[in-house]
Structure formats: C-alpha cells, structure tokens
Structure 1
Amino acid sequence: MRFHLTAAALFACLAGMGVTAQERALPLPSSLPLLDYQAQLYPFVAQRRFADLGWVRDKRWRDTGPFVMGTSYGIHPAVRIYYGPQVIDWLEGGRQGDIPDGAMVVKEMATPPAARYTTYRDTLEYLHPDDPAEVEAQMIDFLHRTGGLNWTVMVKDSALSYGGWFFASVDAAGQVDDFAAPYAPASGQAADGLCMRCHASAAEELIFSSLDNIEGYPGAPLIFRVDESWRNMTDQPPGPMNLPAVQRPAMGQSDAALIEDYFHNDAAYDRVTAGAAGGRPALNPDFTATFPPADGISIPAAQVPHMPGQWLDHVPSRPGGPQHFLTSDNCVGCHGGLGGPPSGTAMFLQTGPSYGDGYDISPYGEWRWSPMGLAGRDPIFLAQLESEFALLEQAGAGDLADALGTTCLSCHGAMGQRQLQIDAHANPDAGLNPDVFKPDYLSLHAPLTQAGQAAQEADGTYDYHQYGNLAREGVSCAVCHRIAPPRRAEGQPDYNTLDTYLMNGTTGVFQMTEADRLIGPYADVRRKPMENAMGITPVQDDYIKSSELCGACHTINLPNVDADMSVPLDGYTSADQDVFNQAARNGVALLKDSYGVTYPEGLTDFQHSVEQATYLEWVNSVYSEEATAQSCQDCHMKSDFRSADGTVALDRITTQIATIQDTTLPEATNLLPQAEIDVPMREGYRRHSFVGLNVFLVEMLRQFSTEMGMGLTQPMTYATNGAQLAIDTMAQQAREETAGIDIALRPAATGIMADITVTNRTGHRLPSGVGFRRAFLEVKAVDAGGQALWCSGCTNGAGVIVDGAGAPLRTEFLDDVPEGADMALYQPHHRVVTAQDQVQIYEELTRNAKGAFTTSFVNRVSHPKDNRLTPHGALAPGTAAFEAKFGGSAVTAAFMKATLPEGGAAQDPDFTAGSDRIEYRIALPAGVDPAGVTVTATLYSQAIPPYYLKQRFDTAPDGPATRRLYYLASHLRTEGTLIEDWKLATATASATLR
C-alpha cells in the first residue's frame, strides 16, 4: 500500500511552506452561490494548484476508449486524473462508505490519444534525464499548446443533491458561466445531468476511480486500441510523432474532420450554437397598421422583459431523498439522445456524416420545443394572466387575482406551483406561502452571486427561486410521469370511473405517485442508474398510456366571476350547475386536505363552467370506443417519422430509450453489473412531440430565443433544428390529420354554387383547447389566368379577414355595436354564404355579464356561438345513443354538454358529428364564363386571432408581459413561414366547373 499524507497533515505541511489558504482548501459548493463558487474553483483548477499541492495522480496519461483512423471513441479525451487525499483514503478503504464532503477529483484532459503525451514525455525524459522539473514544465507547455488542456472536476458535497456531487468542466482560461444567450449548458453545477448519464452506472458513490490507475499502487489501467493515425504532428520533427502518410492508416485519411468530441469540447459546442442564432426580425408594418402602438404598449428592444436562460432551470434531487419535482436537465443526459459517431446513435435519426446532422427525436429533444415544454415561458399565456388581473381589478375583485393566477399556474407552471404546496405543508415553519404562486416567480432563478442572493433576500423572493426554476419548465418530464389516477374522496357518492375523474381530477388538480417513483410504460427497465443518481425508481404503470392522464390539464372547470349566482349559466340547468360547482369544491377540498392550501376557496363563490373540454371531447367520440380507439398518445406521441423533405420515412421506430454507461461503451472500472445497465432496444418507441397547431408559439420562441431564454442547440445531440422539427411535425399534423375538404360545384344563374364539406379528422373538436382559437374557411374563385374574382375569408398581412375591397370586416374585432343593438357584430354560423363579407368561422364566442364579447377565462357568462367542429361519434346527452354509451349519470351528462355546439350550429342539419356542409353562392362578374373558374377552399387555423390580440393590448397595455407580447408579435417574421399572413393552412381542395 502506498504511503501518503492525510489531508490534514498535508495542509499542515503546506502551511509551513507558505502555501496560501485558498490553495490549501476550497469552500464547499453549497456554501456559496454558483458563480461565486466557480470563481474560486476554476482558478484553482486552471492554474493547476491541485498539482502544486502534491495530489496523487494516475500512473500515466491514458485513453478512455479506442482511437482508430484519427477518431477517438472514448467517453472522455485522453486523461490523467488527480485525486484529493480524501478520495485516496476512500479508495484505500476498498470503496466502502461515503466519500467525505470536500473531496475532489480533477480529470486533466487533452486531445486524444494518450500515446502522443506518453511518447512526448519519453522524449523529454531522454533529453533531460536529470531535470524532472524541466520535463514537467515542458510537458505542461506541450499540453496547453498542442493538447488543448482542460479539466472536468468532481467535488463532493452531500448538501447539494441526492447524488452529492458538484460537476464542472473548466477551460484553460478558467472562465465562469454567464448564462447569456445563446444559452449553453452550465459548465458547473450540482448533479449535472450530462455527467450523471455515465456516473449513475458506477457501482458506488457515482465514481469509477480505481487504485489500479494511480501512481504507487499495483495494477494497470485499462488499455484500449490506438492505431498510428495520430502520428501526423507536422510541427514535430520526422520520427515517432510525425510519420509520413504512407505509414499511417489509409494514408492519413480519417473521419476526424467529420466527428468531434462534442461532450468535452466547448469550442465545438460554441460553433454549433453560434451558427443556430439568427438576427432579430424587423417590425411588421401590417401588424402595426392593424394594432397601432398606442397607450405606451410599444417599447424598444432594450426594455423587453427577458426570461431567464433555460439552463438556469436547475433543481436536482434533494439530499436524503427526492422531492416530487425536478427539472429536465436531470433527465437530458440519459434521455437526450446521441447524435452519431463516435458517441453512438440513439433516439436520433442521422442524415449526414457530422455529429448532430439529422433529427433529434429523443424525449427531451422533442418535448423541449413542444407547447408543453414551452408552457412556463409562453408569452401569450402570461399576457392573458395580466388581462385577467386587470379585469378583476376593474370589477372590484382584485383580491381574487392571486387565487386565479395560482390556479392557472397549476398547469402552466405545474412543477413549481405544486412543489411549493408540498414543501410548505411538509415544513410549516419555513415561512413559505403556498396559497400564492405569483407569475413573477417565473422570472426568479437561483442567485448566482452573493450580491444576487442579498437582493433576493431583501425583496423577499429568495425562498421562492427554486419554484421559479421548476415552473418555467411548464409541463415537464416529472409532471406526466408522476400523475396517478384520481380517487373518490370519503363521503362522495359511488361514482363510476369517469365521474370519479370528472369530480376529482380536472383543472390541474391531480393525484401523484410517491416522490421516489416515476411511472413509465415498460416493466423491464434498468432501475439502478436512476436510483443512484436521483433516488428515484422507474416503475411500469399503464396509466402513463391513458388519455385520462392528459385530461388533468385538458379539462378545465373555472369560475365566472360576474355571473348571477341565483341562476345557472347559459345552456345549463340548475342540476348541471350544481355538478360543476361541486366538482370545483371537491378540488378545493383535496388541495386543502393534501397540502393545507386555501387559495381556491374564494373562487367557489361563483358559478363554474367548463372552459376547456379537450379530453371530454375525446371521450365523447368514436376514438374512445374500443373498436375505433385512438388515445391522445396515439396522435400526439407518434411511433413513426417522416421528414418534411421526404428523405426519411419510418413506419416504426426502434431505439434505446436511454443512453448510459452500459456495455455498448468502452469498459470502465467499478461498473454496476451488466444486467443492471444493459439498456435494450425498444420497438414502437413513442416520440414526445406533443404538438397541435400552435405554430405561432414555437415561432415566437424560436425567433426571439434570446428574449425568451431558449437555447437553440440540443446539449446531447447538438442538433439545432429542434424548433423546426416541432414546426414540421405541426405542419404534417395540419396537412394530414386535422381536416378534410370536399367541393362539389354546379352552375347558378349568376355564377357558381359550391357545396363545401369540412370533415374533422381530430379526436376532439376543431379547434379545441382555449376558446379564443379559431379556424375559418377561405373560399376563393379565380379565373383561368389566376385573377381573383370572389373571396370569402381572405385576409391581410396581419391575419385580419377582409371583404372584397380589402377592408377589415366589421365583425373582426367583436367590438362594433350598431346603433340600437345590444350585441357587437360577429360572424354567425353560416349554412349558406352569399357575400364576400360572410365567412364560416369555427369558433367559440363568449360574452360577459354586460354582454360584451370577451376572451377572459372567468367572465364566460353566455355563448351566442360555438360551432367548433365536433369529432366523429359525438353524442348529445339525453339521447338513447348517449345513455347506451355513458349510462344515466347526471355528472357525465352535465360535463358532456360542454362538448356540444351552441347557437346556429345546434340547429343546422348539415352540422353533424365530424363534419359541416356549407353552400356558397358565388356571384361572378358579368361576362365571366363559369366553366373556366376554379374554386379553392382552404381551412386556416389561428391560435391567436386578431381580436384576441386586440383585447390583450387594450386591456393591460402597461403590463410588462403584454408589452413583451406586443413586441414579439409586431416583430414576428411570418413571410416564408407556415404562418404567413398570420394564419396556418390545414386542409385545402380545388374544383373547376366542367
């Protein structure tokens, strides 16, 4: 056994030699904010003070994998590791027990292979046989000059996380993070998910270290094959380090120019990330003409509120045992895919020779750019909240703002809002307020410096920053993989399964698994790495495949704060109203019993109604029936893939679903048994794309990634097309799975009669979700030369529907009240369209108690129109077919009324479950031959139509989120995108009268 000084003895000796306190020891990572700690750790590493301290090191430079044809297949570059005294004590003790806090391992790294350094050192020792100091000095110079010397570091601190390690990657300059655009992953943080990918497979303490590698101990390091391709160093004299091409493999040709070490080369990451950044789009004149910058709503770019960078969304599993919610950067290392050789190809479709060429279909990669992954950063939602608060204040009900905001953030900021409730309940002395989750928390992050921490402590936000980190991730991994089926509370009626959900599982109020369990679809999973890294066991549970799981945030039952409590809301009976109100009270009771929170209690003083019914619409369709079943996951988590350019087409995806240090990687010491880390290939892999038709949101976040804190480069695969893949997937869904259009033409006395049938191909209403979304038909007649003759539903560049003269329709903004009328003009549901100012718009329109049209979620008193296309198989409560499917439950019948048409569509015999037929009477100019006219019908989708935006800008023009939305929307580049002219095309069809 090698003799070495203990840490205390070593420090005592060094103190006598005049070594400074900083060189003797470093503070624990948990004792300082992140950047303050990096500022102490990084110089210690980059200046190699660990070597000055005499730390024990590896016997020699060594490889971490084969080096063949100029390419390294190692997990790291060439390494020579230095070990702090506490780590040596632990290794000498047989890797038993816990490594003490403060223990460090510094992995010195250089461009592989190790042979270049051992060969160069042999040369130096030959030239300077009696001067080891000169050999060491020249060796370090060579490593800096030729090897690109850099380091990865592990520092033990059990107060940090469940795994208890701080990981860091330090460059030669010792540069600390700044978390600025274009948002690279942190170079150092607790429980780094990228590092945990491999280290979770270690047998003990998340570390692979072995005495076999270390100077003074018996044994030999692992040896990997290294060919002669590295001997091409033309800055060296001819000889062992500079062989002619004819003596190197393939005459010096290699894949090295195409493959880089993307995991440990910051320069490579920076190049890819920089290439992904785009310039800020210019102001859109069509938009500003439609929405003039009045009331101070227009602000310069420098004043636009920025969201924190996505890599500040960091909350690891806690020491001693996991909490329920942790951020996706804990998951990305294993579930973020690999982009090709030399690292491997998993959850990735590689289309080119370079690493990262292709499509990242990993769970992290597709979720990150989905509306679920963006929900906590959604600038449209945050502006909506400001409007809601302003309306409540105007109505004298401003005291309800906190309750409403907290309710809305139970989905949009699910992890932060719920974890705050859990923590406050578990530790009532902590002083946390679980009844208020402020939208401002979304701007909080862990303080990076002591000055930042002091500022947060001074303004009272310090205790809430971790919840902001969680909330910004929206509907993240740990939300869906934690949801458990709703349960009937004690004393409730004997509800059936559906009614148990309806009365106990909507509006973001969901049951959860235990904190140390995450559910998934597979039984034969490798559990130990996740248990090692986070203390969480992955378990099989079919509920993850249930549409009901999605319903937790896609069935929303909200109060109507200006409705008359003495009468039921429009369209409902008193019995129906009692059902909705009781469901709300049940949710309040569950939250109070579970977490002691009372914030929603004030909201139960109002009449409730279903504001969003996407899950209910699916239940009330053929897609929920066994013979024709298609779940939410079947449509929104595809198991196939087709690229937008048609070059890649897979009917079924087979891949590993996790990438860890397993038997496919180069051998490592002290690895878990093979059976615990051998990740199988899975057939029928489900993509985590989760898209609908909200291209507007993804384009905003992509085009304004700096303002919204989004990095465009995926940290594992280095793919930069994540946003584009989400948009391409939306385009495919819009084109193939949203709607169908059929046109039948016949001549008429003054032109053409067109029967146009629109078919709903979705498993819910079209459009679905929040009520302000709309879809409309553009029906255009053109002559043989392409000249437009007639158009219903044409728009200008801001997406505003115009008449034949190009003027906006009086119905477009729902605020034009004719003299003597009690309601603003709107487009009714049309059975027959006879003029260009008549447009078939599929939408839900709601009015408040004063009769004004509103997009508020809590002023929905009446619905003069709801002609959103119903799905196939939709049934009306009270019919024999409905009762045959659902039975006689009053709860089911009440909720299902929210899935039915209202207004003119309810009386239209051509508006049926799954389709609508409209007759267009197209008048042609005199002298035009109808036989040469082509009629084209296109169904367009607008996730944020003009009247919605106008209501935001009018309601809260001085709100920071509203001003940000105005800036983003007014600068959004739509030309050449899927949303050109502020509309997304779905189905289209053309016909010519012959």
Structure 2
Amino acid sequence: MRLIPVLVLILALLMAACAEKPEPVGKAETVKPTVKPIERETLYEKAEERTLSTATTSLFAASGNCEFCHNGLVDRDGNDVSIVNDWSQTMMSNSARDALWQAKVSSEVSRNPHLREVIEEKCAACHMPMAKVQAKVDGKTIAVLDGFLKDGELHEIAMDGVSCTLCHQIQDVNFGKEESFSGGYVIDTETPKPDRTIFGPFKEPAMALMMKNHVGYTPEFGSHVEESELCAVCHTLYTPYLDSNGSVAGVFPEQTAYLELLHSSVNKSCQDCHMPKTDGVRISSRPMNPNMLPERSPFGKHHFAGGNVPMLQALGCYTGAERTMEQLRTAATLTIESAAKKGDEIEVIVKVENKAGHKFPTGFPSRRAWIHLKVVDKDGNVVFESGKPDSDGRISGCDSDEGKGYEQHYDVITRSDEVEVYESVMVDTEGQVTYTLLKGARYIKDNRLLPYGFDKTTASEDIAVHGKAAEDLNFVRGGDEVKYIVKTSGSGPYRVYAELLYQPASYPFIADLQKDDTEYVEKFLADFASVEKTIAVSSAEAVVE
C-alpha cells in the first residue's frame, strides 16, 4: 500500500512560482447571549434545504451514504445522538459553504492573482479536503473559486466539507509532527473499495460486513481518532508570507491551537471538549433489532462546537449555533474582583479567566474578545464607558476600528478610548498592520487569554505573547486582571457593569475585506448583515456606595 502526504509543502511551490486592592464586592455570572436567531422559521427552512449528498469517488463517500445507518441513534437515557444530524449542524460540515471562508479565499486571490493555484490548493486542503485529495490523485486541477464551488464532477464531494470519510480515513502517520500540520494528513490512495480501511474508536467493530457491502469500507479500530493530533492536522496551520517585493520570506503561524494546548497544563484532548461524551450508544440504526449491536461507551457526540455563531446562523444551523453559544459560555468567565470609591475616583478590578485548553480566542486571526465596562450614577447617567459596541460590530474608542493601527494592551485603564481587546494582530515585513494572510509575517500583538499552565516566558515564538502583555504581571496563565480608574461625577450609589464580548469576525477585518469587489465578498456581506456581530460570553455587576 502506498501512503502519500495529502499536502505538498506550499513554501516550495511558492518559491517556484499600583494601589491597595479593595475587598471583592461582585461576582461573575454567565449571561444569555446578546445574539438572537434571525427569523427562526426561515433558518430552519434554510437548514432543511440541504439534502446530504450521496456522491462517491474512488476514495470517498459523502455524508448522505453514512446517514442511512448512523442517524436515528439514542444514548442510554434516550437522548438523540444521531451522528450525521449532529455533524450537519457544525462548521466542519459547512466548511466549504462558509461564506466568510469563500470571501477570504477570493480576497487573497484578488490581491495575489499570480498565486491563485497555490492559494486555492492550500485552502482546499482543510475546507474541501475530499475533493482536494481526489483531484490530486486523479491528476486534475485543484481549483476553488471557478472549480469546486461551481457545478462539476467534484462539486458535491467538495461541498460536503470536512466529512465522515475524510476524518475517519486519516492514517496515524507523522501525528504531532510538523509534517502533519497545515493539512499534511495522510490518506491511503492505493487500496480500492470495498477493502478500504475506515477507523473508529471502538474495538471489535460490529456488522463490519454490512458496512463493507453498503459503502465499501472495512471498519477497524484506530485509537488515533480520539487524539488531539488528529485535529492538529488542520488546526495547526502555517501560511507562507511575502515581502514587499512579492518574494516568499518565510512561514507564519496562522493558527496554533494544538501547540497552545501542549504548552498548557490542561489534561484534555480536543475531543474531550468538542465531542461531549455520553454512554450506551448502539452506533448503527441497522439492523432493526438493536440487540444485535453492543452498547458503546463513552460515545463522543459529533457537536464540534467552536465559536462561529454568526455563520452558523447565516447557514440556518440554529441548533449548531445554540451549541456553539453553550461552548462559548464555558470557554471564559468575567468577574468584578473589587469595586470601591477612593476619593473622587472609583477603582474597579476586572478579572477574566480562560477555561479553554488553548488561547481564547484561538484560531483564525479575525477573532477578538474584549471587556465592555460601564459605570452609571444613581440616576442612570453614564459616568464612564469603555469598550462599547455598536450594531455594526465597531468598538467605540478602539484604534483599529478607527483606522489607527491597533489597540494596545492595557493593565490600567483611565479613559473611555482605552479598551482591553484580546486579539492577535498581524503585520507585514515592513511592520504595517495587515489583514492579508499572505502578507502576515509576524504578530505585533498577541494578548489572547492564556490557558492554565501556559508559561509565557518559555513559550516558543510561534505561540508567544507579543506586545505589552508580555510585560504585564497581571496577564498570566489562565487569565488577566485589568484595573479601571474612573473619575466620578453625579451622585452615588454607582453601579458598575462589566461583560466579556466576543466577535469571530472583527470590524476591521470585515472593513478590510470590503475593499475587494468579488462575488464571494458580496455574498458574505449579505449573509453577515442579517446576524448579530457581537456575542456576550460572561458578565458581572457591582454597586459602589
């Protein structure tokens, strides 16, 4: 059997082409999200419009072939845990339909048209992986914008996204090594159906002959499907960057969730958090007599909840959006550690805590979180406000939202135009802020909240803290503390409101995307207009006499 890496090294292709702390007075409370579903019935109609594909190729079978047996499942308590239904509500399922991804690919191609083939192959590796692998093996062109997204031989398999027979056919080869990152997973491209191996987490697979006859795969136990290293093949991603002359100057750590997890003390796998466990599941609805199949425990529900609520809403995946909101509520918390009057000032200390196993936010650098803090007097008049969002996703007083570069990290905030924003900010080889991935050479700022056990003094350059947070003694493993000093006016008692807000697509990122006049940017902007841009993750309040 011949095993080949699915992604050729892109770089080679490009070359060829302080005061006393008062006593705590407030506690955090997780709040319901500010985001609301848009026309709920319409969303369900949109979701139902998608009929799962039953397309097949020599290597793959789309998800519609799998739902025949792997839907209609329940756990020991009778809860619906249908694999394909759950997966279809995720961004994994919709990776190729993601309008933001389509828009960003078209933007990068528009800005670097001479690198179109390289960009599209790179992006297809993890968003249209089955089509990308099949095209590579068949010697066909790998094209996204005028290829897989259009009607054609591999369109259906491409639009099935990160699907069942992609993940479950990945071989345990080079796991956790650089060769496996950036879409460097390995698939058996030699063995024909029905003898192709498909891996699962349970020993002694039952009804193997039925699966072999129905879809052409032979199930086999593979412990690696429960390892973080499986997720790392796409969620540790390096992209090449260009200098001012358009020449390749190196590679850039675009997202590094797996490496962040390794540097933490969080003793969990990706699957532990993103595939919540249940017990007593017979993993096939065929045969009709369920006693012919053993109960499997623990069983990982295929929820794959991340942080992209707006796009799931735009796609009509309301169940997935709700699960994602629940995931965000467990990812980070905010508390008011203290709030007290000192002379003519109010001093507030806000603590944010990262509960995830990686940075928060992690992943693609369009994401950001920030603290919105407001102080009002006894008559409800606003005395002070930092981090106020508007309906377009803009943060009042934030430099990046006003076209002034980027907002620095703060330990102490005294003015309303100072905002504590947790984000990663790219710059090009000239040191200018950029939102173009192929220009992103390094991070000038990365103060995303660190997971527990993450030592910023020993972190490698690829996952390091950058900017003023590196020297902030209150920015530590597991969270951050920010002090607000507010000049008072009006009369007390004063009420302090604080919340941790989050955006998967920041205002300046979207503003930059709007510069490109492509059909996919236009489509994304239309989809994005109908959803809320900002999500409340956690909040707290306190009263100061």
TM-score bracket for the superposition, by shorter chain length:
0.7 to 0.9
Q: SS state of the match for residue 42, structure 2?
A: coil
Greater RCO (CA < 8 Å, at least 6 residues apart): 2
Q: Judge which range, 853-862 or 523-532, deviates more.
A: 853-862
Q: Which residue of 2 aligns with 1:924?
A: 488
Distance change (3 Å), C-alpha of 1:833 and 1:325: same
Do residues 622 (structure 1) and 183 (structure 2) align?
no
Do residues 993 (structure 1) and 544 (structure 2) align?
yes
After TM superposition, give the deviation of residue 751 of structure 1 in Å. 2.5
2:339 to 741, 745, 762: 745
**Which letter does structure 2 place at the counterpart of 1:470?**
I
Q: Which residue of 2 aligns with 1:437?
A: 143
2:203 to 498, 523, 528: 523
Output the TM-score relative to the length of structure 1: 0.48
Q: SS state of the match for residue 436, structure 2?
A: coil
2:114 to 370, 395, 399: 399
After TM superposition, give the deviation of residue 532 of structure 1 in Å. 1.0
Confirm or deny: 8 A CA contact 1:563 1:606 kept in the other structure.
no
Deviations 1:805-846 (A, max 9, x none): xxxx36143634xxxxxxx3x210001110111100001111
* Matches of 1:814 and 1:617, distance apart in 2: 31
Q: Which residue of 2 aligns with 1:832?
A: 412
Deviations 1:24-64 (A, max 9, x none): xxxxxxxxxxxxxxxxxxxxxxxxxxxxxxxxxxxxxxxxx
Q: SS state of the match for residue 366, structure 1?
A: helix
After TM superposition, give the deviation of residue 988 of structure 1 in Å. 1.4
Confirm or deny: 8 A CA contact 2:43 2:315 kept in the other structure.
no
Deviations 1:698-728 (A, max 9, x none): 01111xxxxxxxxxxxxxxxxxxxx332222
* Matches of 1:617 and 1:529, distance apart in 2: 41
1:609 to 245, 252, 260: 252
**Which letter does structure 2 place at the counterpart of 1:933?**
Y
Q: Which residue of 1 aligns with 2:183?
A: 508
Confirm or deny: 8 A CA contact 2:251 2:441 kept in the other structure.
no
Q: SS state of the match for residue 654, structure 1?
A: coil
Q: How does 1:128-207 map to 2 (within 5 A)?
A: none
Confirm or deny: 8 A CA contact 1:413 1:473 kept in the other structure.
yes
List alignment gaps of at least 5 residues for structure 1.
1-274, 282-305, 339-345, 351-358, 393-397, 425-431, 446-464, 488-496, 566-602, 624-628, 640-651, 665-676, 703-722, 803-808, 817-823, 880-892, 975-981
Deviations 1:232-285 (A, max 9, x none): xxxxxxxxxxxxxxxxxxxxxxxxxxxxxxxxxxxxxxxxxxx9852899xxxx
List alignment gaps of at least 5 residues for structure 2.
1-38
Do residues 792 (structure 1) and 386 (structure 2) align?
yes
Q: SS state of the match for residue 146, structure 2?
A: helix
Q: SS state of the match for residue 607, structure 1?
A: strand
Confirm or deny: 8 A CA contact 2:369 2:421 kept in the other structure.
yes
Confirm or deny: 8 A CA contact 1:561 1:859 kept in the other structure.
yes
Q: How does 1:669-708 map to 2 (within 5 A)?
A: 678-702=292-316
After TM superposition, give the deviation of residue 419 of structure 1 in Å. 1.2
Do residues 466 (structure 1) and 153 (structure 2) align?
yes
Q: Which residue of 2 aligns with 1:534?
A: 215
* Matches of 2:534 and 2:200, distance apart in 1: 37
1:386 to 106, 111, 116: 106
Confirm or deny: 8 A CA contact 1:315 1:466 kept in the other structure.
no
* Matches of 1:699 and 1:845, distance apart in 2: 26
Distance change (3 Å), C-alpha of 1:276 and 1:833: closer
2:510 to 934, 949, 974: 949
After TM superposition, give the deviation of residue 950 of structure 1 in Å. 0.8
1:364 to 71, 75, 84: 84
Kindly name which structure, 1 or 2, has the bigger radius of gyration based on alpha carbons. Answer: 1
Q: SS state of the match for residue 406, structure 1?
A: helix
Confirm or deny: 8 A CA contact 1:380 1:965 kept in the other structure.
yes
**Which letter does structure 1 place at the counterpart of 2:282?**
Q
Q: Which residue of 1 aligns with 2:494?
A: 933
**Which letter does structure 1 place at the counterpart of 2:221?**
Q
* Matches of 1:366 and 1:783, distance apart in 2: 47
Distance change (3 Å), C-alpha of 1:563 and 1:519: farther
Do residues 278 (structure 1) and 18 (structure 2) align?
no
Q: How does 1:302-701 map to 2 (within 5 A)?
A: 310-311=50-51, 313-316=53-56, 323-337=58-72, 346=74, 360-392=80-112, 398-424=113-139, 432-433=140-141, 436-445=142-151, 465-487=152-174, 498=176, 501-502=177-178, 504-513=179-188, 516-526=196-206, 527-562=208-243, 605-623=248-266, 629-639=267-277, 652-664=278-290, 678-701=292-315
Q: Which residue of 1 aligns with 2:20?
A: none
Distance change (3 Å), C-alpha of 1:872 and 1:376: same
Higher strand share: 2
* Matches of 1:762 and 1:307, distance apart in 2: 29
**Which letter does structure 1 place at the counterpart of 2:205?**
V
* Matches of 2:251 and 2:48, distance apart in 1: 35
Confirm or deny: 8 A CA contact 1:876 1:897 kept in the other structure.
no
2:351 to 757, 782, 799: 757
* Matches of 2:43 and 2:285, distance apart in 1: 35
1:873 to 449, 453, 474: 453
Distance change (3 Å), C-alpha of 1:307 and 1:333: closer
Deviations 1:741-794 (A, max 9, x none): 342112223231011111111000010000121001001113345543321111
Distance change (3 Å), C-alpha of 1:738 and 1:349: farther
Confirm or deny: 8 A CA contact 1:556 1:611 kept in the other structure.
yes
Count of residues in Structure 1 that have an aligned counterpart in Structure 2: 501
Task: Output the aligned Cα RMSD.
Answer: 2.7
Do residues 965 (structure 1) and 524 (structure 2) align?
yes
Distance change (3 Å), C-alpha of 1:308 and 1:469: farther
* Matches of 1:562 and 1:473, distance apart in 2: 36
* Matches of 2:531 and 2:119, distance apart in 1: 33
Q: Which residue of 1 aligns with 2:34?
A: none
After TM superposition, give the deviation of residue 682 of structure 1 in Å. 2.1
**Which letter does structure 1 place at the counterpart of 2:476?**
T
Deviations 1:75-125 (A, max 9, x none): xxxxxxxxxxxxxxxxxxxxxxxxxxxxxxxxxxxxxxxxxxxxxxxxxxx
Confirm or deny: 8 A CA contact 2:331 2:360 kept in the other structure.
no
Confirm or deny: 8 A CA contact 2:398 2:407 kept in the other structure.
no
Q: Which residue of 2 aligns with 1:843?
A: 423
Distance change (3 Å), C-alpha of 1:788 and 1:336: farther
Q: SS state of the match for residue 369, structure 2?
A: strand
Distance change (3 Å), C-alpha of 1:694 and 1:517: same
Q: SS state of the match for residue 311, structure 1?
A: coil
**Which letter does structure 2 place at the counterpart of 1:656?**
R
Confirm or deny: 8 A CA contact 2:250 2:441 kept in the other structure.
no
* Matches of 1:564 and 1:505, distance apart in 2: 30
Deviations 1:553-581 (A, max 9, x none): 0011111112689xxxxxxxxxxxxxxxx
After TM superposition, give the deviation of residue 969 of structure 1 in Å. 1.9
Confirm or deny: 8 A CA contact 1:773 1:843 kept in the other structure.
yes
1:912 to 467, 476, 479: 476
* Matches of 1:423 and 1:279, distance apart in 2: 38
* Matches of 2:48 and 2:42, distance apart in 1: 19
**Which letter does structure 1 place at the counterpart of 2:211?**
M
**Which letter does structure 1 place at the counterpart of 2:300?**
R
Distance change (3 Å), C-alpha of 1:993 and 1:348: same
**Which letter does structure 2 place at the counterpart of 1:691?**
A
* Matches of 2:418 and 2:485, distance apart in 1: 11
* Matches of 1:622 and 1:986, distance apart in 2: 23
Q: SS state of the match for residue 375, structure 1?
A: coil
Q: SS state of the match for residue 438, structure 2?
A: coil
Distance change (3 Å), C-alpha of 1:662 and 1:528: farther
Confirm or deny: 8 A CA contact 2:94 2:160 kept in the other structure.
yes
Distance change (3 Å), C-alpha of 1:814 and 1:849: farther
Confirm or deny: 8 A CA contact 2:76 2:279 kept in the other structure.
no
Q: How does 1:72-151 map to 2 (within 5 A)?
A: none
**Which letter does structure 2 place at the counterpart of 1:509?**
G
Distance change (3 Å), C-alpha of 1:696 and 1:758: same
